[in-house]
Amino acid sequence: MVNLDLYRVFYTVAKNGSLTKAAEELYISQPAVSQSVKQLENQLGVTLFNRTHRGMELSEEGGKRIIGKVERALRLLEEAENEVGGAVARRGAELCLSASDEVFRYILADKIAAFTKKFPAVRLKFLRLKDEKAREMLRGGKVDAVFGEQSYVCEEHIASFPSGVSLSKVYLGDKKQAERLEGALQCMKSSRGKKACDAHVCAAKLPLIALEGDDDGAAIAGVTAETAKELAAAGAGVVLLPQIYAEKELSEGKLFVLPVAPPENPAKTLYVSINPKSEKEKLVSAFLSIAGMNRSCGEYPRLATAARARRKKFSTTIRKIYGKTKSKTS
């Protein structure tokens, strides 16, 4: 019996040139990756990698002879799985997603629209869950994907990975505020005998508009992101938001990024958390693919434990590769 997971591990190691990076991509331990490579080498009776100071390099006698065929086979498998997923979607199913109102509105809305056009028979259900509740429901299979700043610890029933969408915050205001602040900063830089003022202090002198639950010292507090943007555009103050939440207003010239650095502004990323053992794995994968959240920016992870039963249906291609390789090496 051909073990497809071994070939997937082999391909991931070859692609990354590193056991550690392959383990991170597959969400399994490095010893497990090393053991899988060794098991496949024993099965084929040939060395697949040369261990060098540069990392894992494909061997001439084994790895380089099969890598192209394995890559093509895995691509065929993925296409076959996507077709199966599409067939399931066309028969009708429900996909349950959890995120904040802001993430749904400013990040996922157009992706959801594109998904519903491609899979009109799929019913989408949206939840707004707190972190611990989202984790519990994800592990129990009651939620299919969670989008948020929280990256859950990877375990058997949960895998988290970055989506590639930045949630880093900036100060936003109208044109007059941006010009006034820019002028003040230039004046301070050119002043002699005066201690340069911190940009955070400059920002603090402007009326701050704060969202609900984040109203410490704000002139206007307890508003939604949409209301905060409207108030800032009207000149009522400045608001601290992820820049992606205001792309429309920025492109229309209604809001401007103020030339000050927010205090304590670590780079934040939108994370996706999924249950890799979910029966809706293919449907979730299809949504993430449409959303552009693939391996180039944190791809939907292909865990070694996921969907073994379905992969067995597509083992014929790999079996052919194995047969040819074995005959060449014997």
Secondary structure (3-state) at 75:
helix
Tens of pLDDT, residues 35-79? 999 999 999 999 999 988 888 999 998 999 999 999 998 888 777
* pLDDT for residue 298: 36
115 strand-pairing partners: none
* pLDDT for residue 196: 44
Helices and strands (DSSP H and E) totals, the chain: 14, 12
Nearest Cα neighbor of 232 from 212, 246, 247 is 246
* pLDDT for residue 13: 93
Tokens read off for 212: 């609900």
Residue carrying structure tokens 């590769």:
321
How distant, in Å, are the alpha carbons of 90, 158, 197, 277, 301 from that of 307? 20, 14, 58, 7, 12
Secondary structure (3-state) at 66:
helix
Q: What is the residue-level pLDDT of the chain in tens, covering all 330 positions?
A: 677 788 989 999 999 999 888 877 765 678 888 999 999 999 999 999 998 888 899 999 899 999 999 999 888 877 776 665 555 555 558 899 999 999 999 999 989 998 888 888 888 999 998 888 888 898 888 999 999 887 766 566 677 888 888 888 888 999 888 887 776 655 555 544 334 444 544 555 678 888 877 766 788 888 999 999 999 999 998 998 999 999 999 999 999 998 877 766 566 889 898 887 777 877 888 888 888 775 433 333 333 333 333 344 434 444 544 454 444 444
* pLDDT for residue 318: 43
Nearest Cα neighbor of 22 from 63, 55, 66, 48 is 55
* pLDDT for residue 146: 92
Residue type, 249: E
DSSP secondary structure, 186-254, as one string: HHHHH-SSSPPPPHHHHHHTSPEEEETT--TT-SEEEE-HHHHHHHHHTTS-EEEEEGGGGHHHHHHTS
The whole-model pTM stands at: 0.59
3-state helix, strand, coil in the chain (%, to 5): 50, 20, 35
- Domains of the chain, start order: 4-82+307-329 (1.10.10.10), 93-165+268-290 (3.40.190.10), 169-257 (3.40.190.10)
Strand ranges inside the chain, DSSP E? 49-52, 55-58, 93-98, 122-127, 145-148, 159-166, 169-173, 208-211, 220-223, 238-242, 256-257, 269-274
